[in-house]
Copies of this chain bind each other. A is one copy, B any other.
Amino acid sequence: MSADVVPLRPRAEPSLSPMLALTAQGMNSVNAVILDRMQSEVPLIPALAGHLISGGGKRLRPMLTVAGAELCGYQGTRHHKLAAAVEFIHTATLLHDDVVDGSDLRRGKAAANIVFGNPATVLVGDFLFTRAFELMVEDGSLKVLKILSGASSIIAEGEVDQLVAQRHVDTSEERYLSIIGSKTAALFAAATRIAAVVAEKSEAEERALDAYGRNLGIAFQLVDDAIDYDSEAEESGKGKGDDFREGKMTLPVILAYARGSAEERKFWQEAIAGFLTEDEDLAHAVKLINRHGCVDATRERARYYAQRAIDAIAVFPPSAARDAMAEAALFAVARRY
């Protein structure tokens, strides 16, 4: 005997639309800065940078800066340059990640390293990183510089830490959370925090926006990592199963290993060590992960961080901006692409 579960209140899927509407105008200005400042007299630089920057990215991080500025009621324009700097830092890390991982795909098309080669990809990443700092220096706030240079340093440490943990099946959930806290959440936190700084808000509001960004960043990365093993998810921009083949110990794998039988653990040991890389191995990995509910468990963890993000901005008075940011956090958990 079974019972149909009838939801008490039918509830719309969370949407990113309010966030996109909130930030549309600001993002126009940010995008203009991005396009302007990725230019160079060396034509390869805008060509390579544009391959990625014009390549359908969501520009989520600069959007968070713009949303944060809206939440703070900021009327100025300083955050446009700073949001562009955030996106340049992010793009630089993506370019270097693609070299580090030897990726084939990024945002659904050939990765820059495939099209332009590793050398140019490394160097243009460096260029974008230096441009980010130039933009911050032009803004002239030492406080913003401290936040973003600190975040950049933490990102770099997190990337190295992730590299070290790669192919180590005994990576703990704590280590994993520390890595994504550095490589992903630090920039989310900085992106939102600087909005409070330019708006000259209180220390409490600064910390609230930092916490929103940090928790959202962790939720976002958890879901990213879940999607790579989610049989119901759409194709993501990167190649399906990239994490698996690269031996990355993301939470779905950490949980499947912890919950798995001795035989299953043997599979994971061999797979993460790089001996099982065929499509059928990936299919088996997805089967094991879903057998133990590890995609759902990862999303549940993400839900926890999204809720913390939402509660963090409760110090701000109710507004369309606050609602949009809260719904964006729910969307980050629910998304399937």
Contacts and interface: CB of A to CB of B under 8 A. Distances in A.
Interface of A: 40-42, 44-45, 92-93, 96, 99-101, 118-120, 122-124, 126-127, 129-131, 133-134, 136-137, 140, 142, 145-146, 149-150, 152-153, 155-157, 159-161, 163-164
A287 to B, nearest CB: 30
A100 B122 contact: yes
B134 A42 contact: no
Contact of A129 (B99, B129, B131, B142): B129
A37 B49 CA distance: 31
Nearest to A146: B137
A137 B139 CA distance: 14
A126 B42 contact: no
A126 B120 CA distance: 15
Nearest to A182: B42
Contacts of A146: 137
Contacts of A44: 160, 163-164
Given A126-B129, A157-B40, A119 B142 contact: no
A102 to B, nearest CB: 9
A153 B130 contact: yes
A160 B124 contact: yes
A250 B124 CA distance: 22
Contacts of A159: 123, 126
A155 B133 CA distance: 14
A252 to B, nearest CB: 23
9 contacts: A93-B126, A96-B126, A99-B118, A99-B119, A127-B157, A133-B133, A133-B149, A137-B145, A140-B142
Copies in the complex: 2
Contacts of A42: 157, 160-161, 164
Nearest to A117: B163
Contacts of A123: 96, 100, 156, 159-160, 163
Given A40-B160, A96-B126, A100-B118, 14 more contacts: A40-B157, A96-B123, A99-B119, A100-B119, A119-B163, A120-B163, A123-B163, A126-B129, A129-B129, A130-B149, A130-B152, A130-B153, A134-B150, A134-B153
B130 A156 contact: yes
Contacts of A140: 142
A42 B44 CA distance: 34
A160 B119 CA distance: 9
Determine which residue in A133, A136, A153, A164 has the highest number of CB atoms from chain B within 10 A of its CB, and name it.
A133
Nearest to A135: B149
Q: 4 smallest A-B Cβ distances: which pairs?
A: A127-B156, A130-B153, A100-B119, A133-B149
A127 B145 contact: no
B127 A153 contact: yes
Contacts of A131: 153
A45 B133 CA distance: 22
A2 B134 CA distance: 61
Contacts of A161: 42
A165 to B, nearest CB: 10
